[in-house]
Structure 1
Amino acid sequence: MYDVLVIGGGAAGFYAAIHIAEDLPNLKTAILERGKEVLTKVKISGGGRCNVTHAQFDPKELSTNYPRGEKELLGPFHSYASGDTVGFFEKRGIALKIEDDGRMFPASDSSQTIIDCFTSEADRLGVELHTRCSVTGIQLVKNDNEVFWEVQAHEKTFKARYVVMATGSNPKIWKLVQQLGHTIVPPAPSLFTFNISDKRIADIPGLSTLAEVTVLDKKMQHQKLRSKEVKEGVLFSEGPVLITHWGMSGPAILKLSAWGALLLKKYNYQFKISVNWAPEYHPNGLLDLFMEVKEVERKTVLRTKVLDVPKRLWKNLVNAAGISEKETWPEVSKLQLQQLVDQLTKCVFQVSGKSTFKEEFVTAGGVALKEINFKTYESKRLPQLFFAGEIIDVDAITGGFNFQNAWTGGYLAAKGIIKSEKEKQ
């Protein structure tokens, strides 16, 4: 009989196990991991550097980065947030650094630093680790005054007084949890890039520039949606846009995919976006600027990059506006300049599918939030059953926020078990 079984050898699972074993070393704690290796998502995060958390230390501001879970995470973040995560690693001799965009990485720039920290801590604290241990069944057993969990894993059955479910987006585990009586919100991809085939971007992969992106509905109207990324009631995002071989990526696109995860799934990933490549200008003001340039400039429009837009993109948009390579500013008409303004400020693209953003693959959906006590991360429906990480219906934009959800959930689930044990003593 174990005291605690943590199902899932990922970020949230290790974080919970370490805190339990550190505070109550007499408890017999084990991690069950279905794969042959643990912490695989930690390993590939941030291009192999591990984007541990984000330098957002205000709980309210931190919570606004979660399309699903913003309201529920506010309380937990007041108990345990980014600053506490930094403290956890510093206490173990691991310095974190803050990059210009707020993302935090180990100073070593290697995810192996984080993996070694977790595995060595678990080993030092006596946490058992069972790999290649795929859970196939779980049930609550009540004998006399004793309540415990039986966990079936292939040919072996584990028994434990407490279970922490930290399996991430695992459909098989969701099904088991559903059979126990919990509601599972149907999953949908949350971080993905947009597949776009368009000659305006076809020959410029690798180009990155700041832009505003808006999702249009089927009637070409701005799509209304409640979220942090709202601007005048629109599903909207701003930031770097990266042109890729298959379409568009970058922070602005990934944020849109997170906030619009459920809506874009409903659209079957067939929709239109409007891109503003010159967000610092109002369209009317931009036309006035072009008319002024027309009065004084004698070179071709193509060779005169008036705005801070990448040269290759400017060339493609000038062509799309119907302006030839040889046309000079005096020769170009006001109508052509208006078409160039439209290409720059409301450049419409057809999105035809998605591609998974491998490093930060995240899924919306999971255990319904209303069925979890967010003070302890314990199930409201079943005793001595806890959840942490992406198994619940919480997901974030890219930037270290999904890991912070894992650390906070793992920590508070551990504290919930510790509190329960101390109350029995």
Structure 2
Amino acid sequence: MKITIIGGGAAGFFAAIAAKSHFPDAHVCILEKTSKFLGKVKISGGGRCNVTNATFNSRLLSENYPRGEKFLRKAFETFNAQDTVNWFESRGVALKTYPDNCIFPLSNESQSIIDCLLQEARKLRIELYTSHSVESIRKTDKGFEIETNQGKHVADRVIITVGGQPKSTWFSAIESFGHNIIPPVPSLFTFNMPKEPIKALMGVVVEHARVRIEGQKLVGIGPLLVTHWGMSGPAILQLSAWGARILAEKDYCCSILVNWLDEVKEEALRATCTSIQKNHGAKMLQNHNPFPIPNRLWIYLLEKNEIKPETRWQDLAGKHANKLINTLINDRYEVQGKTTFKEEFVTAGGIDLHEIDVKSMESKRVPGLYFAGEVTDIDGITGGFNFQAAWTTGYIAGKNAGV
């Protein structure tokens, strides 16, 4: 039995290791087009590698995927976040869970994960080929013929784990097998705001903010970071993931509305302001910021509404009061473009999940052809969810490829 994995990333290595572990007599190899394996693992999480997320309830875990939630809910029954933790820890990789449930290697080095996967692959005698760019795949009576820039490979089973392919001819090869491809678009990106003065506050973080695209119901919740190009942080990344297709259709030009006070509504905010005017009326606005936002942002919002920072609370009234209240909970900004988040490119789109058997990751159209990782129409929000999808789908594909 010859099992060939195309793509030497997280899903590819997990598929290869699972295949060789379950079918020790099989010949298993990985073909990677670049000169190094696990390149995305290396740079992920700022070089730390967010291995998974400590959401150990599979239903709750699956809710973090804008595309693929129902599919993964079933897949997680086979291999979930706890299985990932057990897998790495049993191979000597110590892990640490942070307050936001993100799980990283205790070493804080992605190389710990890379070394573990390479060591396991070599121990199992999986053949590893770099600089092998696949040019075509053909189904034959006996299996598959794979043409690469280094020559021809034959295989009984093929697992495709080439990752997200935003501008690739790769999908044309898969389409030739009759597969439906959901057109890929970027996901997980930050917002560029070239015309917005708030960029001068770069480095300011609001821990609990809500952001939505004007005219849409989608909401991003969590910390928001002001950058020198616009806005980033979990709230923005979450919104970019859930709104990936909407934003692509708008060519990444839109208006967003920010509630700097999280869930606070207008009525409650007015009541707060009235109470402050009653109890702290003599204090200047610049000296009495009653909200959970940094003072730099507070002063910026005052000046944005042409309110002098030395104004006393008791003198805040009329249109100035109304404008400030509206800005705190409904602050409007123009987005004109996007920036990839920390070199971590994630795409929404790929192989239609309706054409993949969730129990095996095998194509429903082509027997012996399997898919895993981001080449499928699966993507998660930031926080270790994309790697978890890679481990899960890779494991299932490998476990079943030799059947």
Counterpart secondary structure, 1:79: coil
CA distance in 2, matches of 1:376, 1:280: 42
CA distance in 2, matches of 1:172, 1:122: 29
Pairing of 1:230-245 with structure 2 (within 5 A): 234-245=217-228
Counterpart secondary structure, 1:363: strand
Q: Give unpaired runs (5+ residues) of structure 1.
A: 218-222, 224-233, 421-425
Counterpart secondary structure, 1:360: coil
Deviation sequence 1:107-162 (CA, Å, 0-9, x none): 111100110011111111110011000000110111xxxx3100000140000101
The one of 166, 171, 175 aligned to 2:172: 175
The one of 362, 385, 389 aligned to 2:369: 385
**Residues 196-205 or 363-372, more deviating:** 196-205
The answer to whether the 8 A contact 1:360-1:398 is kept is no
CA distance in 2, matches of 1:331, 1:10: 61
CA distance in 1, matches of 2:259, 2:154: 57
CA distance in 2, matches of 1:128, 1:331: 75
2:378 is aligned to 394
1:230 is aligned to none
Runs in 1 of length 4+ with deviation above 3 angstroms? 197-200
The one of 215, 233, 250 aligned to 1:267: 250
The answer to whether the 8 A contact 2:3-2:29 is kept is yes
TM-aligned CA deviation for residue 20 of structure 1: 1.4
Pairing of 1:18-57 with structure 2 (within 5 A): 18-57=17-56
TM-aligned CA deviation for residue 325 of structure 1: 2.9
The answer to whether the 8 A contact 1:4-1:162 is kept is yes
Deviation sequence 1:334-363 (CA, Å, 0-9, x none): 321121111101101111111111343200
2:13 is aligned to 14
Pairing of 1:315-334 with structure 2 (within 5 A): 315-334=299-318
Give the TM-score of the pair, scaled to structure 1. 0.91
2:144 is aligned to 149
Counterpart secondary structure, 2:286: coil
TM-aligned CA deviation for residue 199 of structure 1: 4.8
Pairing of 1:190-205 with structure 2 (within 5 A): 190-197=187-194, 199=196, 201-205=198-202
Pairing of 1:243-282 with structure 2 (within 5 A): 243-282=226-265
- Aligned partner letter, 2:221: E
Counterpart secondary structure, 1:330: helix
The one of 345, 356, 379 aligned to 1:361: 345
Total equivalences in the alignment: 399
Counterpart secondary structure, 1:348: strand
The one of 198, 214, 223 aligned to 1:216: 214
The answer to whether the 8 A contact 1:365-1:393 is kept is yes
2:296 is aligned to 312
CA distance in 1, matches of 2:20, 2:58: 27
TM-aligned CA deviation for residue 200 of structure 1: 5.0
- Aligned partner letter, 2:214: L
Counterpart secondary structure, 1:398: coil
CA distance in 2, matches of 1:330, 1:176: 69
TM-aligned CA deviation for residue 294 of structure 1: 2.5
- Aligned partner letter, 1:89: F
**Residues 346-355 or 285-294, more deviating:** 285-294
- Aligned partner letter, 1:278: L
Distance 1:261 1:85, change over 3 A: same
Q: Give unpaired runs (5+ residues) of structure 2.
A: none
- Aligned partner letter, 1:153: T
The answer to whether the 8 A contact 1:287-1:337 is kept is no
The answer to whether the 8 A contact 1:52-1:104 is kept is yes
CA distance in 2, matches of 1:27, 1:94: 27
The answer to whether the 8 A contact 2:102-2:383 is kept is yes
The one of 349, 374, 399 aligned to 2:358: 374
The one of 184, 188, 206 aligned to 1:187: 184
TM-aligned CA deviation for residue 77 of structure 1: 0.5
CA distance in 2, matches of 1:156, 1:328: 77
Query: Alpha carbon RMSD of aligned pairs, Å?
Result: 1.3
Give the TM-score of the pair, scaled to structure 2. 0.96
CA distance in 2, matches of 1:384, 1:292: 69
TM-aligned CA deviation for residue 198 of structure 1: 5.2
CA distance in 1, matches of 2:268, 2:310: 25
- Aligned partner letter, 1:201: I
The answer to whether the 8 A contact 1:200-1:320 is kept is no
Counterpart secondary structure, 2:159: strand
Distance 1:390 1:215, change over 3 A: same
TM-aligned CA deviation for residue 415 of structure 1: 1.4
2:319 is aligned to 335
1:220 is aligned to none
Counterpart secondary structure, 1:358: coil
Q: Is 2:153 the counterpart of 1:158?
A: yes
1:227 is aligned to none
